[in-house]
């Protein structure tokens, strides 16, 4: 027997009370996902990449770079908090400095933790793909790798990958190139 479950909307999600929890929650494709605080390894990679992207975007006057926690409302069923996101100057209208990002960022980065592997690689990737995020980065500090996906017709295509060493480039954050070794802690 098939039982249909109702997707939760962002409107309903925002009315829920999660007080007293030592975690935070996201709504991905209508399903609530609990996330624990990130590890120092995760934060090391996130901080390094954020600083490099922010400096580049400011130097070139390309747009805004933000880091988590920040509410991003992709659609009626997805309220997420990506690790890093970029919004181009042309797309700045989605920034509501009071409530969050009310639309689809141009570029999103998720830094994978052992507990977020499936969510980042599958659930969030599908949500970002469907919403129309133009470029999606998966940074994996445990496996020392960076994958970059380009959105072609609401489907992500792997555009670049580097593991342990090498450089990757963004096609959305114009002129941004990264030596991936600069993101990771050895050991």
Inter-residue contact 63 to 88 (CB < 8 Å): yes
Q: For residues 184 and 164, what is the distance between their CA atoms, to the nearest angstrom?
A: 9
Among all chains, which residue has been given the structure tokens 């060493």?
A: 165
- pLDDT tens column, 85-121: 999 999 999 999 999 999 999 999 999 988 888 899 9
Render the burial of 24-62: b for 16+ CB within 10 Å, e for the rest: eebbbbbeebebeebeebbbbbbebbbebbbebbeeeeb
- What the block records as the tokens of 89 is 């100057």
pLDDT band at 1; cut points 50, 70, 90 = very low
- pLDDT given for residue 21 in this prediction: 60
pTM, to two decimals: 0.92
- pLDDT given for residue 34 in this prediction: 84
- pLDDT tens column, 35-80: 878 889 999 999 999 999 999 999 999 999 999 999 999 999 999 9
Backbone conformation region of residue 169, classed left if phi is above 0, alpha if psi is from -120 to 50, else beta: beta
Map out the domains of the chain with their CATH numbers: 38-183 (3.90.1570.10)
**Is the confidence at residue 5, as pLDDT, over 80?**
no
Q: For residues 139 and 119, what is the distance between their CA atoms, to the nearest angstrom?
A: 13
Q: For residues 79 and 168, what is the distance between their CA atoms, to the nearest angstrom?
A: 28
Inter-residue contact 73 to 95 (CB < 8 Å): no
Q: For residues 42 and 138, what is the distance between their CA atoms, to the nearest angstrom?
A: 12
**Is the confidence at residue 4, as pLDDT, over 70?**
no
Three-class SS of residue 141? Answer: coil
């Amino acid at each position: 027997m098939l039982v249909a479950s109702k997707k939760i909307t962002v409107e309903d999600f925002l009315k829920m009370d999660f007080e007293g929890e030592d975690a935070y929650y996201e709504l991905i494709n209508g399903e609530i996902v609990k996330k624990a605080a990130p590890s120092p390894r995760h934060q090391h990679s996130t901080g390094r990449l954020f600083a490099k992207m922010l400096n580049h975007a400011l130097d070139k006057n390309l747009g805004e770079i933000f880091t988590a926690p920040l509410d991003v409302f992709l659609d009626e069923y997805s309220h997420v908090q990506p690790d890093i996101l970029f919004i181009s100057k042309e797309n700045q209208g989605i920034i509501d400095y009071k409530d969050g990002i009310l639309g689809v960022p141009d570029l999103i980065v998720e830094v994978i933790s052992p507990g977020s592997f499936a969510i980042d690689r599958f659930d969030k990737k599908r949500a970002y793909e469907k919403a129309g995020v133009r470029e999606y980065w998966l940074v994996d500090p445990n496996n020392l790798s960076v994958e970059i996906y380009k959105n072609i017709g609401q489907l992500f295509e792997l555009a670049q990958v580097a593991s342990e060493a090498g450089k990757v480039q963004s096609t959305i954050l114009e002129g941004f190139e990264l030596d991936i070794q600069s993101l990771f802690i050895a050991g």
